[in-house]
Amino acid sequence: MKHLMIFGTMFIDDPTSYRYPPPQIEVPQHVIEWCDNFTVDAERDSLRFLDCLWYKMGYYRFKP
């Protein structure tokens, strides 16, 4: 699990990719802000924060 921050933009590994290393996808800014507020005590490199990003980006097959 890794993510990359460039000029305030976050990139994370694509959870749907079977390639190694997985391609990086851009996380929208409103999703980052929402997860920052929802997971107040979680670090950005924690699984809890990453799970929040995946949820808000629709990777769990239902619209949040």
40 lies in some domain: yes
Q: What is the pLDDT of residue 59?
A: 85
Give residue 45's domain range: 26-64
Whether residue 9 is contained in a domain is answered as no
Residue 63 has pLDDT above 80, yes or no: no
- Say if 10 falls within a structural domain: no
Q: Tell me if residue 32 falls in helix, strand or coil.
A: helix
Q: Is 5 domain-assigned?
A: no
The verdict on residue 42 lying in a domain is yes
For residue 53, tell me if it sits in a domain: yes
Residue 40: per-residue pLDDT: 87
Judge whether 16 lies within some domain: no
The count of structural domains within the chain is 1
Q: pTM of this prediction?
A: 0.76
Do the domain assignments include residue 1?
no
Rounded-to-integer distance, Cα 39 and Cα 27, Å:
16
Query: CB–CB of 27/11 below 8 Å?
Result: yes
- What tens digit of pLDDT does each residue of 5-60 get? 555 678 888 888 899 888 999 999 999 999 999 998 898 889 999 999 999 998 88
